[in-house]
Amino acid sequence: MALKAIALNATLNRTDASASSTERMLGLVLEALEQYGVSHEIVRLADFNIMPGVTSDEGEGDDWPAIRKKLLAADILVLGTPIWLGQPSSVAKRALERMDAFLEEIDDKGRMVSYGKVGVVCVVGNEDGAHHVSAEIYQALNDVGFTIPASAVAYWVGEAMGSTNFRDLKTVPEAVAQNVVLAINAVHLASLLRKSAYPGVTSNA
């Protein structure tokens, strides 16, 4: 059965409000994944009501449970975020907080529901911040059970204090194009982990 990827777009803008630089980068990565037979879907988080909290269901009106379901059905999570003040967006942080619940959602061998899933990152900004954003997201995703393949980030930022948007670049920079092909690492790793799951540990209780 084909691998599935879910992309979460953590731009601050709703789909009806504006085009998204983050969406452009996600599109490049998903296109690369598709070449290896991976099916995919993008969820623009700002279109939904993701309530603040650290549980998997915050009750009436919470759109997270439906997104979580898609996430758990996927083999690869592509988390895309813009940079604001050199840091991930509040929308990205909101989604990660909701995954905090995975820490308690474990089977009898101590494996979280997210175990075996591979996490990669897309980051775009007018300027500076991609490395730090990937650091924070790697750590948060890893804490909640994801595995991070080699060279797991695709990013673009302009020169210091620049104001160009990635969505407005006429062509995709060559460095980004070479970066995006590394999606093959996610495919390889997700494929291995699907065939051979983390064994977990039997509780010593």
**Which of positions 165-204 make contact with its own copies (CB under 8 A)?**
173, 175-176, 178-179, 181-182, 184-185, 188-189, 192-193, 196, 198-201
Q: Check residue 156 for interaction with its own copies (CB under 8 A).
A: yes
Q: Select 61 or 199, whichever has its Cβ closest to its own copies.
A: 199
Pairing of strands 87-88, 76-84: antiparallel
Q: Check residue 93 for interaction with its own copies (CB under 8 A).
A: yes
What is the rounded (10 degree) CA torsion for 185, 186, 189, 194? -150
In the list 62, 155, 165, 190, the residue contacting its own copies (rule: CB under 8 A) is: 155
Least Å distance, CB 41 to its own copies, is 22
Q: Select 26 or 153, whichever has its Cβ closest to its own copies.
A: 153
- Amino acid letter, residue 179: N
Mask: binding to its own copies, 23-62, rule CB under 8 A, as x and -?
-----------------------x-----xxx--------
| Gap between the Cα atoms of 7 and 45, Å rounded | 10
113's tokens = 């529901």
Least Å distance, CB 34 to its own copies, is 15
Residue 35 CB contacts under 8 Å (≥ 6 apart), including other chains: none
Q: Judge residue 21's burial from the number of C-beta atoms within 10 Å of its C-beta, 0-12 exposed, 13-18 middle, 19 or more buried.
A: buried
Q: Check residue 205 for interaction with its own copies (CB under 8 A).
A: no
Q: Select 42 or 96, whichever has its Cβ closest to its own copies.
A: 96
140-172 residues labelled b (16+ CB within 10 A) or e (exposed): bbeebbbbbbeebbbbbbbeeeeeebbeeeeee
Least Å distance, CB 96 to its own copies, is 6
Mask: binding to its own copies, 121-140, rule CB under 8 A, as x and -?
------xxxxxx-xxx-xxx
Considering only residues 65 through 84, tell me which ones interact with its own copies, judged by CB under 8 A: 84
| Gap between the Cα atoms of 99 and 136, Å rounded | 14
Least Å distance, CB 71 to its own copies, is 15
* Helix, strand or coil, per DSSP, at residue 84: strand
Q: Check residue 105 for interaction with its own copies (CB under 8 A).
A: no
